[in-house]
Structure 1
Amino acid sequence: MWCRIRYALALGCLALLQGSNASADATKSPQYQALPSLREQASLLDGWTAERKALIPGILSKYNVDAWLMSQREYAEDTVFWALKSFTQFSARRRTTQLFLANATNGAPSAYSWIDNTPLVWSELKAVLQDQQPRSIALNTHSELAFSGGLHAGELNAIEAALGLEWTDKFVLEPMIAVELVATMVDSRLDWYRKMMETAWAIIDEAFSSRVIHPGVTTAQDVEWWMRDKIQALNYTTWFQPSVSILTENDCSMCPSSTGQESTVPRLLTEADFPAHLIQYGDILHCDFGVTALGLNTDTQHLAYVLQPGQPETEIPDSVLTGLQKANRLQDITRHHMKIGMTGNEILKNIRAQMKDEEIQGKIYCHATGEFGHSAGTVIGMTNLQDEVPFLGDLPLLKNTYYSIELYAEHYVPEKNMTVLFPQEEDVYWSEKSQSWEWVYGRQSQYLFVHSASKDQHMAAEIEL
């Protein structure tokens, strides 16, 4: 009983927040943000990359490593290459080799780069090593962490053959160097990241409206492709196909890998394998959506409710409102437990304990974002791993990065006679001023509503489709 009382109090506190600060997020009117010209983008991105490269000697010293060596061939790039390249580089060329030093001596530079396809690369590299005499040289050879394991096996063989035992004996594996370098988002990126997030919100807002959705006519797939076209029209791109699902369907609309049919012949699935998922009045809609630009990626999940003809927004079922409130409560719990320096698994354990205490059913699966959609950094749960995540969950939570707080809460909806999963996902950044994780743009605390179109609009939509 005390657990139920505490949960009721928690929701009550959440309602108070929604009446003050949190409601501002729901009442925002996001606008599309135009990207600068490609030349301006080049200046922005190269500036951000220079800021991040300047951090490398400090990162090496933090992990007690003297040098960091990366090498790759064209189209076989190390994962970290994409965080270090210039805007006008589209791939590595020939053999691209990079060396970074923690404490360069004799007035030498702290960074070196070679683009060549002759043995000159190795002779010049050995000359630098001979001059600087690093005691340890880190390579990206981790077997489980993609951001720390990008050195191709063939390139490792080439390095070892070229440098010999004098230097290969000094090779070490320190996975946090690559993880921290890729994870670090310099402060100057935040303004544009916030604009990108506003654009993502604006696309979702328009997609989940009567301008796009006509109940009984429009399918979830129609909305997905409208969103994809909108991204392209704005000169953005994306890192995954937009996903739109109907949470109140009984045919597993949130399970796109399931066709409901068994087959013994492996084959590629196409859109024809999946049901149409026609949007109807009273549906709860969900989207998983992100945009890509300026070397950054967003990740957002929002909910919408399809109103009956003439139904006011105030008549949305209480059970549907409570589902979103539970998800918002889980977001607050998750942010509270995201302590810098703790591992993702430790954070997950603390979140799950509070969920049990407040009798909230759901799942937590948070990840870093930014340079990549699922970027470098610890993960806090996965949908199939709610006790701990091997390797990735053992990494410490770093500041100066962006995180997607991704989760869902379960709640029974009597109007549908089913337990519905209420997903939410919003990106956060670490604020030195508040010493906490803050929303990049905001968080959804009220539903988007699809209002009924007029009869004439409905007929026009049928003709168009």
Structure 2
Amino acid sequence: MGMWTKALSGLTTGLVIAVWATETIAARAADKTPQLHALPPLQEQADIVDSWTEERKVLIPGLLRKYGVDAWLMSQREYAEDTVFWALKDAVQFSARRRTTHLFLASPKNGAKNSYSWIDNTAGVWEDLRKLFAEQQLLKPRTIALNTHPEIAFASGLHAGELDTISSALGDEWADRFVLEPMLPVEVVATMVPSRLPWYRRMQETAWAIIEEAFSEKVIVPGKTTALELEWWMREKIQSLNYTTWFQPGVYILTAEGFPLKKERTASRNELRASADRPIQHGDLIHTDFGVTALGLNTDTQHLGYVLYPGETEADIPKGMIEGLKKVNRLQDIVKGNMKIGLTGNKILRASLAQMRDEGIEGKIYCHPTGEWGHSAGTVIGMTNLQDGVPILGEMPLLKDTYYSIELFAEHFVPERNQTLFFPQEEDVYWDANTESWEWVYGRQEKFLLISTPAEDASENPSEL
């Protein structure tokens, strides 16, 4: 099958599946009973991903013109790839080969193409580039963008040694035209083409389904099952479905001491694991931070569960805990409502924190783009340790046509426990071009996941009643 035939076939397959997935998932999401979704065969997955990549590549010349650059040059060696390489490669490509070089042109002249690629380990690539640049002289290319930003990962993928090689090989005539435009690679990676959404919704529903099974009496035996055992069960479940994940699932028993934030969990995991061997008990408020990975996409979700005492029902959940969940739901609405396209993450953070405090809510906001990467390209809206604003990453503008994780927590005093507890939540949203607003990818948690124990088990643990 020829290259263009294969690309068209993959695109057609992806679109047909996308329409079917949209209809079926919309029906399932309506009743909020999440289902597990099996992935298609590997070759079909590759065709789908390649079709998305082709859709993205079509957008690049327009983005070059948007940011006022004439050409965009990326070059890398095997195992020293530019960060953006992973967003543009073929699905079956595991790494760059030899020297892999990509060139995109904003407005090519004289019959030139919009994009060129080389896989070479000789000086031929530099000869070709000099010739191409010379042929485009009528365009007067003033700017050739390179990914050399000192702080933004998605705009800093060009390795220092490769930059030296490019500059030397092309000479001062062209090296003098090198510029940095960080928003170009950021927007290329951040932009989620519309045909991705149906599969992303399926993945989000699968994540919900795994969490709901994990946080149930099917898996948790109060007094026996530990948080650490539950984490490994969730990871095994992911693999049994042929998904993977971008971070180890976390399960925590929430107490007045709070809960471990991601940054802290990474920094001192051994210390934080000290309580992981404590069995989950009746009356515990439990929390998970969980995501799945497939088809080049990543989800990120945090949900809460409550372990009922034997014979209890939903009506027996402490009212203070129900109010805590409602409070964090309100905080989600506040942040989502302040996410205006074009505002910086720091401006959104300040507006959200001000509204949060005006409404008497205490908590933290730390939202991030997701999708292509777990922590993907785009502005961030707070960090756990930076609630006054995030340097550089928080100063970028919010882009549309992307996915975000609304990640945060609210504090609430629970009278029944005489404690102030933390209520963390995280749900993914997408930009809906039709409504010009942010919408939940699958939904959001508004009720606790309940772990039930039959009343007859009460005699086995009389001290807990």
Structure 1 length as normaliser, TM-score? 0.89
Aligned to 1:374: 375
Structure 1 unaligned runs (5+)? Answer: 1-23, 260-265, 460-465
Deviation at 1:356, TM superposition (A): 1.4
Structure 1 partner of 2:347: 346
Tell me, in whole angstroms, the C-alpha distance in 2 between the residues paired with 1:318 and 1:300: 24
Task: Tell me if the contact between 1:214 and 1:453 (Cα under 8 Å) persists in the aligned partners.
Answer: no
Indicate the SS of the match to 2:109: coil
When residues 271 and 345 of structure 1 are mapped into structure 2, their CA distance, relative to the original with a 3 A threshold, is closer
Please state how far the C-alpha of 1:257 moved relative to its aligned partner. Answer: 8.2
Structure 1 residues 364 and 144 mapped into 2: Cα distance closer, same or farther (>3 Å)? Answer: same
Residue 89 of structure 1 is aligned with which of 90, 93, 114?
Answer: 93
| Aligned pair partner of 1:215 in 209, 217, 222 | 222
8 Å CA contact 1:25–1:443 kept in 2: the answer is no
8 Å contact from structure 2 (residues 52, 195) kept in 1: yes
Is the Cα contact below 8 Å between 2:256 and 2:420 reproduced in 1? no
Describe the shift of the 1:340–1:268 C-alpha distance in structure 2 as closer, same or farther (beyond 3 A): closer
Partner of 1:427: 428
**How far did 1:315 drift?**
1.2
The verdict on how the C-alpha distance between 1:275 and 1:221 changes in structure 2, with shifts beyond 3 A counting, is closer
Given candidates 92, 99, 102, the residue that maps to 1:98 is: 102
Deviations 1:239-275 (A, max 9, x none): 000000011264x65268889xxxxxx9994997555
After superposition, the Cα gap between the structure-2 partners of 1:403 and 1:255, relative to the gap in structure 1 and judged at 3 Å, is closer
Q: 2:159 aligns with which of 125, 134, 152?
A: 152
Q: 1:433 deviation in Å?
A: 1.4
Contact 2:252 2:288 in 1 (8 A): yes
Structure 1 consecutive aligned stretches of length 4 or more whose deviation exceeds 3 Å: 24-27, 255-259, 266-275, 453-459
The CA distance in 1 between the partners of 2:57 and 2:104, in whole Å, is 9
Partner of 2:131: 127
Cα deviation for residue 199 of structure 1 reads: 0.3
1:29-72 C-alpha deviation (Å, 9 max, x unpaired) = 11100101111011100000000000000000000000000000
Distance 2:415 2:353 in 1: 26
Which residue of the partner structure matches residue 172 of structure 2?
Answer: 165
- Find 1:118's aligned residue among 118, 122, 138: 122
**Does the Cα contact within 8 Å between 1:25 and 1:444 map onto a contact in 2?**
no
Q: What is the SS of the residue equivalent to 1:302?
A: strand
User: Which residue identity does 1:373 align to in structure 2?
Assistant: G
Q: Give, in angstroms, the shift of residue 129 of structure 1.
A: 1.1
CA distance 1:433–1:424, shift in 2 (3 Å): same
**Is the contact between residue 310 and residue 457 of structure 2 (CA under 8 Å) also seen in structure 1?**
no
Q: What secondary structure, in the 3-state scheme, does the structure 2 residue paired with 1:96 have?
A: strand
The verdict on how the C-alpha distance between 1:152 and 1:458 changes in structure 2, with shifts beyond 3 A counting, is farther
* Residue 126 of structure 1, CA deviation: 1.1
Match of 1:199 in 2: 206
User: Would you say 1:254 and 2:255 are equivalent positions?
Assistant: no
Moved more, 106-115 or 130-139: 130-139
Contact 1:66 1:101 in 2 (8 A): yes
> Is 1:330 the counterpart of 2:337 in the alignment?
no
TM-superposed CA distance for 1:121, in Å, is: 1.1
Deviation at residue 414 of structure 1 after TM alignment: 2.5
> Which of 231-240 and 271-280 deviates more?
271-280
Contact 2:365 2:408 (8 Å CA) reproduced: yes
- Matched with 1:190 is 197
Q: CA deviation at 1:415?
A: 2.6
Letter in 1 for 2:174: W
Residues 412-460 of structure 1, C-alpha deviation per residue, up to 9 Å, x if partnerless? Answer: 122332211100100000111111100000001111100015778999x
Task: Tell me which residue corresponds to 1:69.
Answer: 73
Write out per-residue CA displacement over residues 6-37 of structure 1, whole angstroms, 9 at most, x where no aligned residue: xxxxxxxxxxxxxxxxxx97961111001011
Once the two structures are superposed, what CA deviation does each residue of 1:108-138 show, in whole Å capped at 9, x if it has no partner?
1010100011111111111111111321000
Q: In 1, Cα distance between the equivalents of 2:458 and 2:282?
A: 16
Whole-Å separation in 2 of the counterparts to 1:26 and 1:324: 21
Q: Which has the higher contact order (CA 8 A, sep 6+)?
A: 1
Q: Percent identity?
A: 65
Q: In 2, Cα distance between the equivalents of 1:258 and 1:178?
A: 29
For normalisation by structure 2, the TM-score amounts to 0.89
